[in-house]
Amino acid sequence: MRLFMFLGERVIGSVSFTNVSRGALQGCWLGYSLDGREQGNGYMTEALRAAIPHVFQALKLHRIMAGYMPRNRRSARVLRRLGFRVEGRARQYLLIAGRWEDHVLTSLVNPGVAARARRSSSPPRARRARGGVNG
Ligand X SMILES: CC(C)(COP(=O)(O)OP(=O)(O)OC[C@H]1O[C@@H](n2cnc3c(N)ncnc32)[C@H](O)[C@@H]1OP(=O)(O)O)[C@@H](O)C(=O)NCCC(=O)NCCS
DSSP designation for 72: -
Cβ proximity to ligand X, 44 vs 51, nearer residue: 44
Q: Site residues for ligand X, window 65-94 (CB under 6 A)?
A: 68, 72, 74-75, 77-78, 81
Instruction: Indicate whether 12 belongs to the interface with ligand X (CB under 6 A).
Output: no
Give CA–CA dist 2/52, Å, rounded: 12
Instruction: Indicate whether 32 belongs to the interface with ligand X (CB under 6 A).
Output: yes
Cβ proximity to ligand X, 38 vs 113, nearer residue: 38
CB < 8 Å & 24+ apart, contacts of 79-82: 79/106, 81/45, 82/45, 82/48, 82/49, 82/52, 82/108
The correct pick among 40, 70, 83, 88 for binding ligand X (CB under 6 A) is 40
Give CA–CA dist 90/67, Å, rounded: 9
How many chain residues are in contact with ligand X, going by CB under 6 A? 17
Nearest-approach distance from CB 88 to ligand X, in angstroms: 15
The correct pick among 34, 52, 61, 108 for binding ligand X (CB under 6 A) is 34
Give CA–CA dist 127/122, Å, rounded: 6
Instruction: Please name which of 104, 97, 100 lies closest in space to residue 67, comparing C-alpha atoms.
Output: 104
Nearest-approach distance from CB 109 to ligand X, in angstroms: 19
